[in-house]
Amino acid sequence: MTPVLEAVRLTKRYGRHQALADCDLHIPQGRVIGLVGPNGAGKSTLLNLSCGLIRPSSGSIRVLGAEPAASPAHLARVGFVAQDAPVYAGLSVADHLRLGAKLNPGWDGSLARRRIARAGLDPRHRAGGLSGGQRAQLSLTLAVAKRPELLILDEPAAALDPLARAGFLDTLSESVAELGAGAVLSSHALADVERVCDYLIVLAGSRVQVAGDVSALLADHHRLVGRREDVAALPPGVETVRVEHAPRESTAIVRAERRRLAGGPWRVATPDLEELVLAYMTRAAPATTRPAPTTTEASR
Ligand SMILES: Nc1ncnc2c1ncn2[C@@H]1O[C@H](COP(=O)(O)OP(=O)(O)OP(=O)(O)O)[C@@H](O)[C@H]1O
C-alpha cells in the first residue's frame, strides 16, 4: 500500500539555517499522526513541505504517492489547516462555504453545512468576529468538506481553552473516521496527541528522533529504576534514551526487547507517552537547554 507520507533524506535550509536535516519517514495510510517537538524543531517546515507550500533543499518527500501539490487533482486529496487557522476576516461563514464550493471539485456542501450547524456557527457571522475556537472549527470544516484523503493541521488547537480544545479534537476524530482519511497534526500538547493520535513523530534538533505507531513505541520502550551503577551498565541491545539520577536511585528510559531486561537488578515499567517524548527531546537538546540535573548529579 502506498505510504501516506514518505520522506527520504529530506532536508530544508533557510539560507544558512538548517530547519530539517536528513529526515526519513515512511508512514502507512490510515493513521492519525501526532508531530511533536520543541519550538523551532521544524514541525511547520515539515507540514509546509507536505503541502507543497515550500520545496526541499535536498532529499525528497512524497504525499499519497506523489510530489506534494503535484497537480490540481493531488491538491484536492489533501486538506490543510495552517497555524492560527487563518480565515478571511471580511467574509461571512456562508461566504467561506461558497468559496470552498467554487474552489474544490469534490466539495461536500451538505457535510460543510452539517458541521457548521453542529459547531453552533451562524452562517451570517463575519469570520473576523469569530472566537479562536470558532475560527478553528470553520477552518477544519473548510478542510474536511473537500473530502480529502489526508488532513494536515498545524497546531490546530493551540489557541483554544481546554473545553473548546476537547470539542475540537472530538470533531477532528469524527471527521477523520467519517472520511476514512489520515491526518497529521502538530502540537505542543501531549495530552491532545494522546487523545487523537495513533502514530507519533518526535522531531527535535531538525531531525526525526523517533517515529512509529504509539502502541508499538510504548511496547518497545521501558522505564528502568535502580541503583546508579546498575542503570549505567545495561546489556547489549538496550539503547538508553535518557538517564536521570536522583539521590537514592536512577531512572533510565530505554529502547529494547523486553526479554533483554529480564532478571536485571532494576524494576521495569512502561513509560507513558509524555515521558517517552520528553526523553527523546531531552536527548536531542543542546546541553545548555536541558532540564537542570538533580542536586546529587550536579554536585558529583
Ligand atoms: N521562512 C523562514 N525563513 C527563515 N527561517 C525560518 C523560516 N521558517 C522557519 N524558519 C526557521 O526554521 C526553524 C524551524 O521552524 P519551524 O517553524 O518549522 O519550527 P516549529 O517546530 O514549527 O516551531 P514552533 O513549535 O515554534 O511553531 C526555526 O529555527 C525557524 O526560525
Q: What is the CATH number of the domain that holds 61?
A: 3.40.50.300
CB 4 within 8 A of CB 180: no
> Same domain for 142 and 237?
no
Domain presence at residue 292: no
Domain presence at residue 189: yes
ipTM comes to 0.98
56 CA distance to ligand 1 middle (Å)? 14
State whether the beta carbon of 23 lies less than 6 angstroms from ligand 1. Answer: no
pLDDT for the residue 117: 93
Amino acid at 273: L
> What is the β-pairing status of strands 239-245 and 32-36?
unpaired
> Same domain for 87 and 233?
no
**Residues 6+ away with beta carbon under 8 Å from 26:** 3, 6
> Same domain for 113 and 262?
no
Atom of ligand 1 nearest to the CA of 54: 1
206 CA distance to ligand 1 middle (Å)? 10
| Percentage of the residues of the chain whose pLDDT score is greater than 70 | 95
Domain presence at residue 86: yes
CB 56 within 8 A of CB 12: yes
State whether the beta carbon of 96 lies less than 6 angstroms from ligand 1. Answer: no
State whether the beta carbon of 42 lies less than 6 angstroms from ligand 1. Answer: yes
At residue 289 the predicted structure's pLDDT band, cuts being 50, 70 and 90, is low
pLDDT for the residue 298: 37
> Same domain for 179 and 243?
no
| Percentage of the residues of the chain whose pLDDT score is greater than 90 | 70
Q: Does the structure show a pLDDT above 70 at 200?
A: yes
CB 79 within 8 A of CB 104: no
Instruction: Identify the domain boundary among 205, 235, 257.
Output: 205
39 CA distance to ligand 1 middle (Å)? 8
CA 260 to chain centre: 31
> Same domain for 175 and 244?
no
- Atom 31, ligand 1: residue with shortest CA distance: 40
pLDDT for the residue 297: 42
52 CA distance to ligand 1 middle (Å)? 16
State whether the beta carbon of 68 lies less than 6 angstroms from ligand 1. Answer: no
Q: Which residue has the cell 475540537?
A: 168
Q: Tell me, yes or no, if the pTM score tops 0.80.
A: yes
State the average pLDDT over residues 80-101.
93
Q: What is the pLDDT of residues 210-266, one digit of tens each?
A: 999 999 999 999 999 999 998 888 888 999 999 999 989 999 999 999 999 988 899
> Same domain for 15 and 35?
yes
Domain presence at residue 289: no
Environment class of 26 (CB within 10 Å of its CB; exposed 0-12, middle 13-18, buried 19+): exposed
Q: What is the pLDDT of residues 169-199, one digit of tens each?
A: 998 898 899 888 999 999 998 989 998 999 9
State whether the beta carbon of 299 lies less than 6 angstroms from ligand 1. Answer: no
By residue range, what is the domain housing residue 243? 216-284
272 CA distance to ligand 1 middle (Å)? 28
All three cell numbers of 51: 503541502
**What's the mean pLDDT when you consider all of the chain?**
91
> Same domain for 133 and 263?
no
> Same domain for 274 and 239?
yes
pLDDT for the residue 291: 63
Domain presence at residue 70: yes
Q: What is the pLDDT of residues 96-153, one digit of tens each?
A: 999 999 999 899 999 999 999 988 999 999 999 998 888 988 999 999 999 999 999 9
> Same domain for 172 and 252?
no
Domain presence at residue 35: yes
State whether the beta carbon of 41 lies less than 6 angstroms from ligand 1. Answer: yes
Atom of ligand 1 nearest to the CA of 203: 21
- How many domains does the chain fold into? 2
pLDDT for the residue 295: 42
pLDDT for the residue 300: 37
> Same domain for 185 and 267?
no
261 CA distance to ligand 1 middle (Å)? 39
**Residues 6+ away with beta carbon under 8 Å from 233:** none
pLDDT for the residue 162: 86
**Residues 6+ away with beta carbon under 8 Å from 194:** 214, 273, 274
215 CA distance to ligand 1 middle (Å)? 30
Atom of ligand 1 nearest to the CA of 155: 27
Q: Which residue has the cell 530539517?
A: 20
> Same domain for 77 and 163?
yes
42 CA distance to ligand 1 middle (Å)? 6
At residue 168 the predicted structure's pLDDT band, cuts being 50, 70 and 90, is confident
Half-sphere exposure of 174 (CA within 13 A, CB side): 15
> Same domain for 199 and 222?
no
3-state secondary structure the chain: CCCCEEEEEEEEEECCEEEEEEEEEEECCCCEEEEECCCCCCHHHHHHHHHCCCCCCEEEEEECCECCCCCHHHHHCEEEECCCCCCCCCCEHHHHHHHHHHHCCCCCHHHHHHHHHHCCCCCCCEHHHCCHHHHHHHHHHHHHCCCCCEEEEECCCCCCCHHHHHHHHHHHHHHHHHHCCEEEEECCCHHHHHHHCCEEEEEECCEEEEEEEHHHHHHHEEEEEECHHHHHCCCCCCEEEEEEECCCCEEEEEECCHHHHCCCCCEEECCCHHHHHHHHHHHHCCHHHCCCCCHHHHHC
CB 107 within 8 A of CB 145: yes
